[in-house]
Structure formats: C-alpha cells, structure tokens
Amino acid sequence: MTGKPLWVHLLVGLGIIVLLIVVFLQSLYWITRHDKTLTIPAVTGKSYADARKILESKGFEVEFQDSIYNDTAKPLSVLRQFPEAEALVKVNRTVYLTINKSIAPLIEMPSLEGLSFRSAEISLNQYSLKLEDTMYRMDFAKNSVLEQQYNGDRIKAGTKIPQGSKITLILGSGLGHEDFSVPDLVGLTYNDAKVLLESNGLSVGTVIPSIDSSAFVGRQTPEHMTPDGRVNRIRQGQTVDLWLQRDKPVKATTVPEVPQQQP
C-alpha cells in the first residue's frame, strides 16, 4: 500500500479512462477520415469508360447499378449517377452509375385503333414510343384512331418493334358536308368493292361472314336503291356493311313494260 489517499487513485484511474477514450476517438477519426471529404464530379452524359476513369482518379469506387434505354442519349453513356454531382462525400465512397443500353429493346406494339387521339398519345408515351405524324381519313369517328402505321405500313397490335420507334396515326376527320349516291357494290369482289368505297371517301363496315378477297358482294347496307326505287344517299366518312358469298350473284334486270295498243 502506498501512502496516497483513495481519491488520488480514483483520479488517476479516471484520467487513464479519459485518455483511452480520447485516443480511441482520435484513432477512429483518423481511420474513417471524417475530416477528408471530396466533391463528386459530374459524369452524366460521358461514356461509361470515361466516367469510371474520372471517378477512380478522384478516389471513388465505381459500381454499375443498372442499364436502361434512352433513344436521345448515346449508347453506353451514363444516364444517372448516385450520389449526384457536386455532393460532398468521404473518400472511397462508391458511386453507382446507370448506363444507356447500346441496342433498343423490343416491345409489343399496343392496340391504338378505336382509341381517341388523346388516349393513343398517352398509350404511346407509356410504351416509350413516339408519334411521328397524324393523317386524316374521312370517317364518322372524328379524331378516333382508324389505323396505326410503322414505317409506312399498318402494324398489328402485339408486333415486336424497337422501343422508341415512331408511329403514324390515321385519324377520322368526321363526315363530309355533301351527300352523294350510295355506290352499287352487289356483284363486285370484296377487293373491288373496298377500292370503290375508299375512292368515294367511304369505308367498309361489318363484313359477313368474313373477309375473303375473292368472294362476291351479295348484299350491302345501306343499299344502292330504296324499296320505292329511289337512289340512297350517303355522306363521306360513313361505312357500308357487306355480305359476301362464294358465287357471283345474278342481278335482276327490270324489263320496261310495252304499252298495249287499243284495238
């Protein structure tokens, strides 16, 4: 035993504890380098190789996070970075990069026909497709999508096309202001009837039983003539329903009556 009082021993022990805590905090501060921060450089828009080189030269770790497609950006360029540019972080911080795909992924063409123009626009955006142009065709369904086209040809819903492709929409312009005679389609093949209708600003409506280009039109609605012998009238943009048959129908001919002479 020493001759020192107890409180001296307590103070010495407390001092040792405080010293150990200070040493620990200082070593932790030095190990984690809390006082060492760096500003993350902007690498968005640069190629992945250049972005990696820039970040690693500044003391950052680089990790590939994801790849998406953007048709307005260069292939394999950086679309997003996290943390963002100008952020203050510790050295050795990992920067995550999202890269643009080099090839556009294939998606299914949506079904736009029958939708309003506004709904079709929304659907194109949802599928990451672009509206290339709009064209109008005489049809009673004003501003409704009559046909969807890709590279100048009609495209069916579900067809695989590259994301970002440009689509042309054929829209109805409404009915014409002037009416004209309903064309006589009975006896024509389906193809000839369709051409005749479209040349008059009309379109094929319901086809019964089914479309057969070599079949003949046996009946149509509206008909060419009314029951009382007058010519039916129609306006551009309206539709004509067709009933098809395999054999060419025989049209009834009206033979004018010869008046009998009085004896």
CB 92 within 8 A of CB 74: no
Separation in Å, CA 46 to CA 81, 92, 105, 216, 223 = 11, 21, 22, 63, 67
Q: What is the pTM of this model?
A: 0.55
Q: State how far Cα 23 lies from the chain centre.
A: 62
> Does 106-172 match 179-245 in CATH topology?
yes
- Whole-angstrom distance, CA of residue 239 vs CA of residue 150: 25
- Top CATH class of 37-100 equals alpha beta
pLDDT digits (tens, 9 = 90+) for 136-179: 887 778 889 999 999 999 999 999 999 999 999 999 887 777 78
Q: Can you name the CATH fold of 106-172?
A: Trypsin Inhibitor V; Chain A (3.30.10)
pLDDT digits (tens, 9 = 90+) for 226-251: 988 899 999 888 889 999 999 999 87
Spans of all domains in the chain: 37-100, 106-172, 179-245
> How confident is the model at residue 13, as a pLDDT?
76
**Architecture of the domain whose range is 179-245:** 2-Layer Sandwich (3.30)
Residue-wise over 161-198: b if at least 16 C-beta within 10 A, else e? bebbbebbbbbbbbbbeeeeebbbbbebbbeebbeebe
